[in-house]
Amino acid sequence: MNIPSVDHAILSGLTSFSGHSILFDRFVLGLSSNDLLKGVTIVSIFWWIWFRDDPNQSKNRERLISTTLSAIPAMSVARVLAITLPFRFRPVHSDLGFVFPSGSELRLIDWSSFPSDHAALFFTLSAGLLFVSRTAGVFAMAWTLIVICFPRIYLGWHYPTDIMAGAVIGIGFACLGNLMGVVGRISRSILTWETKNPGLFYWSFFIISFEIADLFESVRRIFAFIYKAFKPILL
């Protein structure tokens, strides 16, 4: 199996530390599965900016909605590419001789690793925050890279280029979604809905926020259940 030299160099460097500190390996493994420190942190920044006092609050809320809407096609493109491009085994499942921390085995052996949907989603959100707060955006970008994406490389769940591709997709859709006129009309319509029916709006906003923080895991499980239930009938 051939992999880009940048992947080989980075993984070789990282896996040379694997096993030297059981405490660090366990910390990274625990970090990788802790939604509070991953998606919840990024989503909570959205809620903070949504309710903070700011003279440009209406425009900020419009951009937050635009960014949230942009995350949906970003995730969709990442999944379509993962399905249609040549299958790429995850590093932990490859036979390239890399040594990863004990316990890092990932069950998604039948899911191609390229590109990373984690990176696509959270880089969309982080890049979108740059349009409303440079400080919050830079923090979110750094958090996404270090807390969300680094563990997935260190544990052998993704190659660095998987993360890079996901980041390009995410940042691209965030920029596209925040350009004037691209999704501005939809965002303004949603803000009008928030004014007229705040109860229903925030009920929906909460559910969407929860699913983003959970990387739509609940939705995936529902669709997986439906697929397995109806597969014998359809086939």
pLDDT digits (tens, 9 = 90+) for 147-175: 999 888 888 888 889 999 999 999 999 99
125 contacts 46 by C-beta, under 8 angstroms: yes
**What are the sequence ranges of the domains in the chain?**
22-98+111-234
Mean residue pLDDT of the chain comes to 83
pTM, two decimal places? 0.84
- Coil, helix or strand at residue 38: coil
- Coil, helix or strand at residue 140: helix
Residue type, 170: G
Of 24-33, 180-189, 197-206, give the lowest mean pLDDT range: 180-189
The residues near 191 (Cβ < 8 Å, ≥ 6 apart) are 58, 61, 62, 65
The residues near 188 (Cβ < 8 Å, ≥ 6 apart) are 62
pLDDT in tens, 5-19: 777 777 777 777 776
